[in-house]
Structure 1
Amino acid sequence: MADEFRLASSNIDHDGRLPRQYMGEGQGAKKNISPPVEWYNVPDGTKTLALIVQDIDAPEPSAPIVPYIIWVVVNIPPTLKKLPEGFSGKAEQMGGEYAGIKEGVNDMKKTGWEAPVLPSHGHRIEFKLYALDDELRLGNKVTKDKVLDAIEGHVLGEAVLIAHF
């Protein structure tokens, strides 16, 4: 267990709740900020990491479940240990190891982190980090479906974090 590939966020409270500033319900500048995520024990042989964040209870917990894509991030160097709070949209200006990271298109048809205003609370937000044995070359428009197709046969490990909103 101690050396298991895992994902965490210091800003998800002890009850597993994702604070409002990360969702569409926040206020002003404290709204739709990408939360900090950190990972541990990346599998040996990992060349890149990919992250997909989705509301796995969309559109309504009682209706047919169609996961809602909030954030897609690819080509995260395995030497990095985290993405800081507010990272979305800042890879280029952060430079260094962050410069090659690419954000994909979410279900709001925008690039980067974009969480909807939910019709009700009680939704599970799934953060899934994939350790891959190869770089992803997905062109200009990165989507969840393109990522899932491209990683087939290249996944060395998966780490999942579930938060509630």
Structure 2
Amino acid sequence: MANASDEFRVVSPGISHEGRLPRKYTGDGQGAKKDLSPPLEWYNVPEGTKSLALVVHDLDPQDPDGPIIPWSHWVVVNIPPTLKGLPEGFSGKEEEAGGEYSGIKEGVNYWKVPGWRGPKLPTPGHQLQAHRLEFRLFALDDELHLGNKVTKEKLLEAVEGHVLGEASFVAYF
């Protein structure tokens, strides 16, 4: 049996161990410290991985009486397996990052805009339970060719049959 230190995993050095999402990564931060994409690091990418893909979504429904549709906050595809992570504030800068980052593409989130959009704290009167934000990283045996408009739905459909490994963690807000 593989020992835990060998397993494919993803973490964020910007999110503490109890998992609360710091304010600067949410829609409730201030100025430049608002809607920053959190830093991510991953370990033990499975052998044969050609690309990584990331989906970040809210596992809790916005409308407790409505259908459970996880809102996507960030979709990223074609991350080279040679990278060890994404730096804080990477979202929206993939074009200028160049180099190893040049093939990475950010998809559109729930708000129909590309890149990271941090969650907002529930409005007053909304039930005050914490929401769970899941970060899911897929190790794939191929690059994804999803056209210009990458969405979470397209990504999840395209990875079928190509997943060599999956790693995830949950943060709360």
What SS does the aligned partner of 2:110 have?
coil
List runs of 5+ in structure 1 lacking aligned partners.
Answer: none
List runs of 5+ in structure 2 lacking aligned partners.
Answer: 123-127
Match of 2:145 in 1: 137
Matched, 1:156 2:164: yes
Match of 2:88 in 1: 85
Q: Supply the AA of the counterpart residue of 2:166.
A: E
Give the root-mean-square deviation of aligned CA atoms. Answer: 1.3
Alpha-carbon separation, structure 2, partners of 1:135 and 1:60: 35
Task: Report deviation, 1:65.
Answer: 2.5
Alpha-carbon separation, structure 1, partners of 2:16 and 2:7: 22
Matched, 1:68 2:71: yes
Alpha-carbon separation, structure 2, partners of 1:36 and 1:23: 13
Match of 1:18 in 2: 21
What SS does the aligned partner of 1:148 have?
helix
What SS does the aligned partner of 2:6 have?
coil
Q: TM-score under structure 2 normalisation?
A: 0.91
Q: What is the number of residues matched between the two proteins?
A: 165
Matched, 1:122 2:92: no
Alpha-carbon separation, structure 2, partners of 1:121 and 1:21: 20
Q: Determine what percentage of the aligned residue pairs are the same residue.
A: 67
Structure 1's consecutive aligned runs of 4 or more residues displaced over 3 angstroms after TM superposition are 60-64
Equivalent residues of 2:58, 2:71 under 8 A apart: yes
Taking structure 1 as reference, are residues 164 and 60 closer, same or farther at Cα in structure 2, changes over 3 Å only?
farther
Deviations 1:109-145 (A, max 9, x none): 1000012423245111100000000010000000011
Equivalent residues of 1:72, 1:143 under 8 A apart: yes
Q: Supply the AA of the counterpart residue of 1:99.
A: S
Matches within 5 A, 1:42-57: 42-57=45-60
Deviations 1:68-91 (A, max 9, x none): 100000000000000000000111
